[in-house]
Structure 1
Amino acid sequence: MTADMSVSRLNQYNKSLLLGRCLSQWAQTYGERIALVNESGECLTYAQLQERVERLAGGLYMAGLRAGDHAMVHMPNTFGFFYSFFALLRVGAIPIMAMPNQREQDIDALMAIAQPTAYFIPDDVGKYDYLALAQRMQSKHESLRLVVMDGDAKCETRDVQLLEALQGPTCPWPEQDERDTAVLLLSGGTTGTPKLIPRTHGDYFYNFTASAKLCGFERDMVFLAVLPAGHNFTLASPGVLGTFQCGGTVVTSISVSCDEAMPLIEQHRVTHVALVPPLAKLWVEGREWEDSDLSSLKLIQVGGARLETGLARQLVDVMGCQLQQVFGMAEGLLCYTRLDDPLETIIHTQGCPLSPEDEVRIVDEDDQDVPKGQVGQLLTRGPYTIRGYFQASAQNASSFTEDGFYRSGDLVRRDANGNLIVEGRIKEQINRCGEKISAAEVEEAISLLHGVHAATAVGIPDELLGERICVFIKPKSGQTIDPPRIKIALREGGLSDYKVPDQIETISEWPLTAAKKIDKRRLVAIATQRASASPQAKPLGYLQEAMATDTLPFELR
């Protein structure tokens, strides 16, 4: 299938494809309906959101931002995130969707690739100094001319502007085509180099509109955004954009904790929420003590990693609403279990592709199709799946076949009804809480530390995290390894928190396969055995303790 044919078929679906014009269209259609609600209960109508975005877009234009410029958005789920995202689209700039928990190494690498003109940051989240990071990035990257901070902190440099103060008159509409890049998403990699996914106006509009239709999104729905809004799952599968397309309401939350998110469900009568499996497990366990009224929930979507059958059944039983499994990738292909599927299909499979034009092949190591029902590597191409990463010719050569199929790295099989069942990964990635983490990146960061001769990272099955990061370190002669100091050094070196190993083990000699390669399966077994024998080796869990009280919780005195 050619790219032009894909665009033609998307045009048949809907002609309103330019993402920068979506918000004004929604404001015209839905006007005084509530678009956004934050944790404090502050509300914005579609008209108010559009008005604020127009003012910010005018300010960005006056500051020199133009169509085609790149701008990194490194913000949590706040109103400021949505102002920034939609204002960039309005100007015609291309947002780079960084995750809030990414730190200096990731941000620096992404900026080196994308050369952004602007960088959008919060003023304070979890006491992390985003402003100091932004100033270091300005000193390293000549392209970075503008830093925009959401908050009221004082700025000691003229190169930083406050989001609320950055306003201007209506800017001109950019000249764009549905085949132009609209947004750059992040992809989990098997190397330490981040990859950027160029999604066009046409394919991304289809991504969230077709998904919203399939998932039954409607005008009266309320979507709770607890996962980062810059992630493809939360943003457009169908997520925030799918909700806006239908005229629904998005409730934002910075916290994923059930004791903060569940009261929002009760307060705002949330109907839809998207979770990753580790978070879904915590929410199920949290219902043992968290008693918010969740009767408004109609649908819980779970994606980002395979949902185990037992947890899937628990979700249905404990949460009391419909479950939908979502399997896909920011590169394109999305699979959903259907709302009218039998419960056993929803429990046991990850569904089938969104579009009838999606092509899926399941192949062996020689790219030959495997027999029906057998496990193989997933290859895919279709009308909303990319044909290449941004400025990554070497990666593209290995990630795409000559005839345009994307090598997902997933091991899957089909059931008799065509639903996909995910069996694992072929690449060396660790899937921790739905985040795809490069084993090579973690190994490289640790290998640079004092006293380390070599390091190997593996993913260990974990009830809470899905997989936890375990690193085996072979120390230099005469050196000893101190795990707490290793973790501190990694954070100080700029490694993102979610990539810091959960378990660190010392090893004197590597177990080898018959081919004389490091036997990672054996390392997984060793790590599991050591964790069982030594509770200190396990990641910290929760301490539960019951105590009597003669007052109601939060009772006023």
Structure 2
Amino acid sequence: MAGYKKNMAQYENLEGWEKLSLGMQLDKWAIRYGNRIAVTDSEEEITYSELNQKAIGTGQYFMEKGIQKGDKVLVQLPNRISFVVVLFALAKIGAVPIMMLPAHRETELEGIIALAKPSAYIVAERYLGFYYVEMAMAMQKKFPCIQNVFVDGTQRGAWYEAETERQGVFPEVDSYSTAVLLLSGGTTGVPKLIPRTHTDYMYNARMSAKRCQLDESSVYLAALPVAHNFPLCCPGLLGTFDIGGKVVLAPTTSPDDILTAITEEKVTITALVPAMVTVCMEMLEYDEDYDISSLKILQVGGAMLEDSLADKIIEEWPCTLMQVFGTAEGLLSFTSPDDDVTVIARCQGTPVSPADEVKIVDENDEEVPTGVFGELLSRGPYTIDGYYMAEETNRTSFTEDGFYRTGDKAMWTGKGHLRMGGRIKEQINRAGEKIMPAEIEAYLCKHSDIKEAAVVGVPDETLGNRICAFILTEKGNALDVQAVHQFLKEIGVASYKLPDQVEIIEKWPLTSVGKVDKKVLVQMAQEKRGDYRDGIQ
């Protein structure tokens, strides 16, 4: 990228574009929605007015302790109300939270601290059996930039009830300044930092809420870690607050916590990744105590949704499936509740903003025809024009004219909808042939005994990469590589796309946000190896 800088002024006439900081947005919501319940977690619930007052007190406390406008602050809190308070407290100061996930440990922390040099670290005392304070103190000792560690536990009361001489007085915050630093979902190395401004991030949430047709009666369940872009802003927490709805924070991503929250809180919309949908469906099969009849929309994204699972959701769940393609870097594309069921079952919809610019290109950056897969590029009002302090990465991740290279394979359907085809970097080069895992996964899921499939490329001395298919079968039915080959040949799959190795798996290894962890699958395939060579064509 050769110095391209997005001109925010060109978007100022867009519906939903508002030059207010997130802290000022909360002030507005507190006046507008007052005593309505804003958010509830497993321990308490608070109104919009109470949330604003807690954010003001906490912001004053942090300023008195040294956090200043422009400071970077590591935030590593689970799904609880204190996360929401801290988010808005920092927004009022004009400090920038770095959105760590509860699952992150020293490796991720060290790389991010070295890059961003945060002045403070706000951390849970304990969560799911892990004691974070010891890790936080070790980071503070290793990195002198961390002047303060704030522990969400015994200190929390002092945050909320801060009494200072400057009560309610905060610095003026430019709405085009960075509001949050999100973490990229990259599969290698330390995550990249994604700077989102107050205005673009709120526009992101607002347009998502409009597509989801949210209103004051909406109850949104944040089932994924709320520091993640999907439950935070797509429409997530911010989009729900904007229309005066209620946010429910699930304490963990377990299916029991998710289904219990839907049942007890009468949730109307939630967002899950495909692997989480599967385990929830399994639990619903044998436990009749859950009631998900309140659900109006189930958003599914974060990873490819297999056609067979989409069909099953549409058939079995009492709500509208909304397929979601999104990047923390910006572009969001959803199906609509008003779309025909055939569109919802097979597409990821259309961009949420009329100002989104999307191109699908070949290896030479030439646009491909409708119906042909290529790489998805995007530019627009809420898509970033560069990662934080990553000049070398920016040169390869953005075009000269500012289009972000998503790294995702996509095509336009004849009716103008996006259909995704998986990550380009996951493409398997087997003996010179290029194979997309998502394509093979879709074929495998056509088999009556296969519930889910994940395909990975595994380093191989002879082939360069061999194809390994991991499959979850119905009721534990056994399938070997020969049976899989026979089925794929019967449905007309080319021989070079047949898996060299087939492994039955009982449970998917998952990432911190519930996606199938393909790095772990590659390691498992290397360890198993087996007699895969029997299947080489």
The 3-state SS of whatever aligns with 1:287 is helix
**Cα separation, 2, equivalents of 1:258 and 1:211:** 25
Structure 1 residues 382 and 283, CA, compared in 2 at 3 Å: closer, same or farther? Answer: same
2:306 is matched with which residue: 305, 308, 315? 308
* Superposed displacement of residue 466, structure 1: 6.5
Q: Offset at 1:4? A: 5.8
2:52 alignment counterpart:
50
1:359 matched to 2:357: yes
Aligned partner of 1:524 in structure 2 is 468
- Whether the 8 Å CA contact 2:453–2:469 is kept in 1: the answer is no
Pairing of 1:302-451 with structure 2 (within 5 A): 302-428=300-426
What letter corresponds to residue 76 of structure 1 in structure 2? Answer: P
User: Does the 8 Å contact 2:69/2:94 carry over to 1?
Assistant: yes
The question of 1:164 aligning with 2:114 is answered: no
2:186 maps to which residue?
A: 189
Larger displacement relative to structure 2 (172-181 or 273-282): 172-181
Distance 1:469 1:126, change over 3 A: farther
How many Å separate the matches in 1 of 2:109 and 2:115? Answer: 10
TM-score of the aligned structures, taking structure 1 as reference length: 0.77
**The residue matched to 1:107 in structure 2 has which SS?**
helix
CA positional deviation for 1:285: 1.7
Pair 1:258 & 2:255 matched: yes
Q: Is the 8 A contact 1:375 1:423 kept in 2?
A: yes
Paired position in structure 2 for 1:29: 32
- Secondary structure of the residue aligned to 1:422 is strand
Deviation at 1:418, TM superposition (A): 1.2
Equivalent residue, structure 2, for 1:454: none
Shift of 1:191: 3.7
Alignment pair present for 1:223 and 2:212:
no
TM-score by length of 2: 0.80
Q: Does the 8 A contact of 2:19 with 2:175 survive in 1?
A: no
SS at match of 2:286: coil
CA deviation digits over 1:274-310, x for unaligned, max 9?
Answer: 1111101111222102321221111111110121111
| Matching residue of 2:88 | 86
Q: Distance in 1 between matches of 2:502 and 2:305?
A: 28
Counterpart of 1:546 in structure 2 is none
Check 1:260–1:536 CA distance in 2 against 1; reply closer, same or farther (3 A cut): farther
Residues in 1 aligned to 2:401 and 2:325: alpha-carbon distance in whole angstroms: 23
Tell me which amino acid in the other structure corresponds to 2:349: G
Query: What is the deviation of 1:259?
Result: 2.2
Take 2:187 and 2:306, find their aligned partners in 1: how far apart are those partners? 24
Following TM superposition, by how much is the alpha carbon of 1:211 offset from its aligned partner in structure 2, in angstroms? 1.2
**Residue 178 (structure 1) shift:** 2.4
Cα separation, partners in 2 of 1:313 and 1:90, compared to 1, 3 Å: same
C-alpha distance in 1 between matches for 2:227 and 2:454: 23
The count of corresponding residues between Structure 1 and Structure 2 is 460
Kept in 1, the 8 Å contact 2:222–2:231? The answer is: yes
Counterpart-to-counterpart distance in 2, 1:283 and 1:7: 44
Residue 148 (structure 1) aligned to one of 143, 147, 150: 150
Code of the residue aligned with 1:39 in structure 2: it is S
Partner amino acid, structure 2, of 1:337:
T
Look up the SS of the partner of 1:242 in the other structure. helix
- Structure 1's unaligned 5+ residue stretches are 153-161, 431-457, 473-509, 514-518, 543-557
Structure 2 counterpart of 1:137, from 136, 139, 161: 139
Identity of aligned residues (%): 42
- State the distance in 2 between where 1:531 and 1:137 align: 48
Aligned AA for 2:30?
A
Which string of whole-angstrom CA distances, capped at 9 and with x for unpartnered residues, describes residues 44-68 of structure 1? Answer: 1111111111111110010011110
Shift of 1:190: 5.0
CA–CA separation in structure 1 for the residues paired with 2:452 and 2:331: 25
Asked if the contact 1:224–1:251 (Cα under 8 Å) also holds between the matched residues in 2, the reply is: yes
Label 1:11 to 1:371 Cα distance change in 2 as closer, same or farther (>3 A).
closer
